[in-house]
Amino acid sequence: MTAPSAKKPAAWDVVQLARNPGRPTFRDYAARMCDEFIELHGDRVVADDPAIVGGFARIGSVRFLLLGHQKGSTTEERIACRFGMANPDGYRKADRLMKLAEKWGLPVVALVDTAGAYPGLEAEARGQGEAIGRSLLVMAGLKTPILVIVTGEGGSGGALGIAVGDRILMLRNAIYSVISPEGCASILWRDGAKAPEAAEALKITAPDLLELGVVDGIVQEPDGGAHADPSLAIALVREAVLDNLRSLAEGPSGDRLVEARYRKFCAMGRFDPRAAVKI
């Protein structure tokens, strides 16, 4: 994990890198980052959503629960996974697994890569908003460390549903935003072609979000993006996971950990009138 370079690329260029279909997927990280990964299935209510995958993982002697969005590698898999856009079943599965991690005293590592929660009629009928809200509640009160890494797209509530962490990192060419640049441009200017301008205004890149205090660090990528050298990208994420899990293990635990997490999120977006621009 390193500091961002002094020269920041255009936000729209970063959006294209974050969305590149050749970037490593969750299953790539699980298979090639971990020495062991045992997948767990189902939300015990409706179904097993393939858009969110999770299970017990091990790197060396470090054990943790690994979960995240799965976009898919082939056309067929992407369609089956809805390009990483989860149904309520996915968030309920994540909740179930995170509670298991808490029960067994394991930290949670969440890899975020989604354009957003699935917007389909069936998802809404099964309680999409409630499922995401409950996931936020579960993570906010979880008495075990949570490490979040945005590996590609971090889109809206679909991303935040598994991103309430004690430490939040982003890959250098990842993005994290309340809305897509295209959606923002359509709302503000009624013109999706202004997406590049919206991307700059939204401050969705890793350096911008680090400066704003939304994320805590940046994980470097190979030159050209994670898709240019997936093996190196995965190795860098593996190193970041180990470093941060060791650091979190030395921090507060139990109720003190929950309180620190609460304070962390309350501090985001705090307005300082002394820094306001006078007109």
- The tens digit of pLDDT for each residue in 175-216 reads 999 999 999 999 999 998 999 999 999 999 999 999 999 999
Is the distance from CB of 254 to CB of 46 less than 8 angstroms? no
Cα–Cα distance list, 74 to 25, 77, 82, 137, 138 (Å): 11, 5, 12, 34, 33
19-49 pLDDT, tens digit each: 999 999 999 999 999 999 999 999 998 889 9
Question: How do residues 253-262 score in pLDDT, each as one tens digit?
Answer: 999 999 999 9
Q: Round to whole Å and give the CA distance between 60 and 35.
A: 7
pLDDT score at 279 = 42
Asked whether residue 111 carries a pLDDT value surpassing 70, the answer given is: yes
**Coil/strand/helix, residue 87:** coil
Q: In this predicted structure, what is the pLDDT of residue 2? A: 45
pLDDT value, residue 5: 47
Please give the share of the chain, as a percent, with pLDDT higher than 90: 89
- Stretch 106-130: mean pLDDT: 94
pLDDT reported for residue 3: 42
Q: What are the structural domain ranges in the chain?
A: 11-267
Residue pLDDT, tens place only, 136-172: 999 999 999 999 999 999 999 999 999 999 999 999 9
Are 73 and 32 in contact by the 8 Å Cβ rule? The answer is no
As a whole number of angstroms, the distance between CA 81 and CA 52 comes to 8
Phi-psi region of 269 (alpha: psi -120 to 50; beta: other; left: phi over 0): left
Distance, in Å, from the CA atom of 28 to the CA atom of 273, rounded to the nearest integer, reads: 45
Question: pTM (2 decimals)?
Answer: 0.92
**CB within 8 Å of 167: residues ≥ 6 apart:** 145, 146, 147, 148, 216, 217, 244, 247, 248
Which superfamily does CATH assign the domain made up of 11-267 to? 2-enoyl-CoA Hydratase; Chain A, domain 1 (3.90.226.10)
pLDDT tens-digit readout, 241-254: 999 999 999 999 99
The pLDDT assigned to 269 comes to 76
